[in-house]
């Protein structure tokens, strides 16, 4: 059988697709992989879609893997295929698992859950001409009717799964505006120096913001966390080192690596150091499972990069997330990791922002807790997104927070954070920590004190801390402080201060210099003109409102009275969306 598998992700690791390809090749099938390297918010150009169709001709089945953010991309590719080919199209991945009926509006069939055994059985039945509509783990749409089958049990023996397929002879990649046959040069160019794999499947956490929240319910009567043997992992990594000589880092991206016990990790560490000896990177660490007995041998084996989920530091959010780690447990894990800071070069902690149920008090509690962390480290921030199937989605839907799923969820990037003062403090703390500098808890208290925030003193302190981050631009930053003091004494109201606070430092310094030299509100067009990131209407809307607030007449030979009223309305709408409000 000829199968074409399509990855929609910009990262060409494509672990699921490559593993499925390896399973099918093991059974003697011919498999092509097409790697489409687009961000989910970008549409594919017509020539790319035409090349996908051309490469897919002669296939007996075409498969796509997708997460929720790539729903639009999957539709675009599938529709182009169906316009030109009669080949059945199957979708798999987390979104089809969560919303199979929705996906069957576009695909002919969907795979629910793990696909290795499911797809292998499906292809076998298709090859010998048997009826395949009864395959466990598959749903089908036939003549407008949906055929639903039982979920296939989780694969318990992970050693039975072949290693991901990097034999690139039948692989194709989107590059420089076209799709090219993969070669070693292209593989090295787009994969980089890091090889990603997983040692375990499943997660013992049931966090309400994560897809594991649903998966753990789907498989509640089975063993959720499963582990590969150490020898199996070593065989994969030794093969990678032999065949992919440009790789210098091994990255484990699973949720449960530290579910291995201390003896297993010691065994892994000894063998890794002897047979692999590359930089080691491990993500998905939980404060509940990291211990000195596990961490020390990994560090000795070459562990240099580590990432752990913290998410929040307040009890309200922890209960909401079902994240049952006390601050004492988190702090203990953080301090343990910091003991190895001379060898662990990159330490990252995951933090969730933009939780609509968190209050300012909750966020302040988290900020003050995080300020106690020993440096260096970095934060990986996520804007809370209500993906379908998770508990928080149901809560948000019930409370009317989701009105347009495609735009509120599917097309929403989880690294787009809201612009608020307290969010700015998270980023400021991150900037300091990355440079091995601390914002002490006492200073964080001043930055988050409710009274000082109302008076603007916290904002001034925030600006001073921002200044200290850039020693190479100290003259400009000193000018910022000088001009800020002038600004506070001028007749310019607080709205303009906040507006300047949202601009970058260079723009802000230029604007402040104009204020110092010109001083009067009637010169505000020159000030606003420096805020080039904002539209003309917003600039003049700002000016109009400032003039109104200071009881000065707004004179313009260009904008009449109706336009000025419109400008004021636009500015007020803009304020609600952009000006720091916390």
3-state secondary structure string across 147-188: EECCCCCCCCCHHHCCCCCCCHHHEEEEECCEEEECCHHHHH
Please provide the DSSP assignment of 307-341 as one string: EEEEE-SSHHHHHHHT----HHHHHHHHHHHHTTT
Instruction: Report if residue 451 sits inside a domain.
Output: no
Domain final residue pick, 435, 463, 485: 435
Same domain, 319 and 402: yes
Between strands 303-311 and 279-285, the pairing is: parallel
Instruction: Please calculate the CA angle 517-523-528 and round it to the nearest 5 degrees.
Output: 100
CA distance 222 to 151: 12
* Region of 35 on the Ramachandran plot (φ > 0 left; ψ -120 to 50 alpha; else beta): beta
Number of residues in the chain:
582
Residue 485 lies in a domain: no
CA neighbor of 199 nearest in space, from 257, 156, 155: 257
Q: Rounded to whole angstroms, what are the CA distances from 375 to 4, 340, 367, 436?
A: 47, 11, 15, 5
Helix (H, G, I), strand (E, B) or coil at 260: coil
Instruction: Kindly state whether residues 120 and 211 are assigned to the same domain.
Output: no
Q: Are residues 45 and 98 part of one domain? A: yes
Question: Residue 322: which CATH number?
Answer: 3.80.30.20
CA distances for 48 relative to 35, 95, 118, 168, 336, angstroms: 11, 24, 30, 20, 49
Q: Is the dihedral of CA 184, 185, 191, 196 positive or negative?
A: positive
Across the beta sheet with 303-311, what order do the strands follow? 194-197, 249-252, 279-285, 303-311, 346-353, 378-383
Q: Do residues 197 and 153 both lie within one domain?
A: no
Please tell me whether residues 214 and 148 are part of one structural domain. no
CA atoms within 13 A on the CB side of 155: 17
Give the domain range for residue 39: 2-158
Q: By three-state DSSP, how is residue 81 classified?
A: helix
Q: Do 418 and 498 reside in the same domain of the chain?
A: no
| 513 and 421 within one domain | no
Pick from 114, 121, 122: nearest CA to 88 = 122
Q: Is residue 174 part of a domain?
A: no
| End position of a domain, from candidates 107, 138, 158 | 158
Q: Do 360 and 215 belong together in one domain?
A: yes
Task: Report yes or no on 457 lying in a domain.
Answer: no
Domain tally, the chain: 3
pLDDT for position 284: 87
CATH number (domain holding residue 46): 3.40.50.280
Same domain, 287 and 425: yes
Task: Please give the average pLDDT of every successive group of 10 residues along the chain, which has 582 residues.
Answer: 96 95 97 93 93 97 96 97 97 97 97 97 96 97 93 97 95 94 94 96 95 94 96 98 96 96 98 98 95 98 97 97 95 97 96 97 98 96 95 95 93 90 95 93 94 87 81 46 43 43 46 42 40 44 45 39 53 49 36
Asked, for residue 473, whether it belongs to a domain, the answer is: no
Q: What is the pLDDT of residue 514?
A: 42
Q: Is there a domain that residue 446 lies in?
A: no
119/249 same-domain check: no
Question: Is 45 within a domain?
Answer: yes
- Give the domain-ending residue among 404, 435, 466: 435
d(CA 150, CA 137): 6
Q: Which helix (H) or strand (E) holds 381?
A: strand 378-383
Task: Decide if 526 is inside a domain.
Answer: yes
Same domain? For 500 and 561 the reply is yes
Query: Alpha helix (H) ranges present in 435-473?
Result: 441-448, 450-455, 457-468
Residues 221 and 302 in one domain: yes
């Amino acid at each position: 059988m000829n199968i074409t598998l399509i990855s929609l992700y910009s990262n060409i690791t494509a672990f699921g697709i490559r593993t499925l390809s390896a399973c099918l090749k093991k059974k003697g099938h011919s498999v092509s992989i097409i790697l489409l390297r687009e961000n989910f918010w970008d549409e594919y150009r017509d020539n790319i879609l035409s090349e996908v169709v051309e490469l897919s001709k002669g296939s007996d089945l075409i498969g796509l893997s997708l997460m929720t953010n790539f729903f639009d991309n999957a539709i675009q590719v599938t529709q182009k295929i169906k316009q030109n080919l009669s080949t059945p199209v199957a979708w798999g991945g987390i979104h089809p698992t969560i919303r199979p009926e929705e996906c069957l509006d576009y695909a002919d069939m969907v795979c629910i859950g793990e696909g290795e055994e499911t797809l292998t059985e499906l292809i076998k039945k298709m090859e010998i001409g048997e009826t395949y509509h009864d395959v466990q783990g598959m749903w089908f749409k036939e003549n407008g009717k949906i055929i639903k089958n039982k979920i296939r049990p989780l694969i318990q023996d992970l050693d039975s799964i072949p290693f991901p397929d990097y034999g690139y002879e039948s692989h194709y990649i989107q590059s420089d505006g076209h799709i090219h046959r993969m070669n070693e040069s292209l593989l090295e160019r787009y994969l980089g120096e890091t090889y990603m794999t997983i040692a375990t499947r499943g997660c013992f956490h049931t966090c309400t913001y994560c897809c594991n929240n649903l998966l753990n319910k789907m498989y509640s009567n089975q063993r959720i966390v499963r582990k590969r043997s150490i020898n199996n992992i070593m065989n994969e990594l030794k093969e990678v080192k032999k065949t992919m000589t440009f790789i210098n880092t091994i990255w484990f991206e699973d949720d449960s690596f530290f579910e291995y016990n201390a003896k297993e990790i010691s065994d892994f560490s000894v063998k890794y150091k002897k047979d692999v000896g590359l930089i080691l990177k491990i993500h998905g660490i939980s404060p509940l499972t990291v211990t000195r007995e596990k961490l020390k041998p990994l560090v000795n084996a070459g562990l240099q990069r580590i990432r752990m989920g913290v998410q929040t530091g307040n009890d309200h959010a922890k209960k909401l997330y079902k994240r049952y780690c006390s601050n004492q447990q988190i702090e203990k894990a953080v301090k343990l990791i910091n003991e190895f800071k001379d060898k662990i070069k990159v330490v990252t902690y995951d933090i969730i922002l933009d939780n609509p149920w968190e209050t300012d008090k909750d966020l302040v509690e988290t900020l003050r807790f995080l300020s106690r962390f020993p440096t260096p480290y970095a934060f990986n921030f996520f804007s809370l997104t209500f993906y379908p199937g998770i508990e928080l989605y149901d809560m948000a839907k019930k409370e009317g927070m989701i009105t347009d799923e495609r735009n509120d969820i599917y097309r929403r990037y989880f690294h787009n954070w809201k612009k608020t003062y307290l969010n700015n403090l998270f980023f400021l703390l991150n900037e300091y920590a990355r440079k091995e500098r601390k914002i002490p808890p006492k200073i964080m208290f001043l930055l988050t004190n409710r009274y000082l925030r109302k008076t603007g003193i916290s904002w001034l302190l925030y600006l001073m801390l921002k200044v200290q981050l850039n020693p190479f631009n100290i003259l400009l930053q000193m000018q910022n402080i000088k001009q800020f003091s002038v600004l506070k004494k001028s007749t310019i109201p607080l709205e303009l201060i906040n507006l300047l606070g949202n601009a970058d430092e260079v723009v802000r310094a230029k604007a402040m210099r104009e204020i110092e030299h010109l001083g009067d509100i009637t010169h505000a067009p020159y000030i606003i003109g420096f805020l080039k990131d904002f539209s003309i209407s917003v600039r003049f809307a700002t000016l109009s409102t400032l003039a109104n607030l200071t009881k000065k007449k707004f004179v313009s030979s260009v904008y009449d009275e109706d336009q000025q009223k419109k400008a004021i309305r636009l500015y007020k709408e803009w304020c609600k969306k952009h000006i720091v409000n916390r």
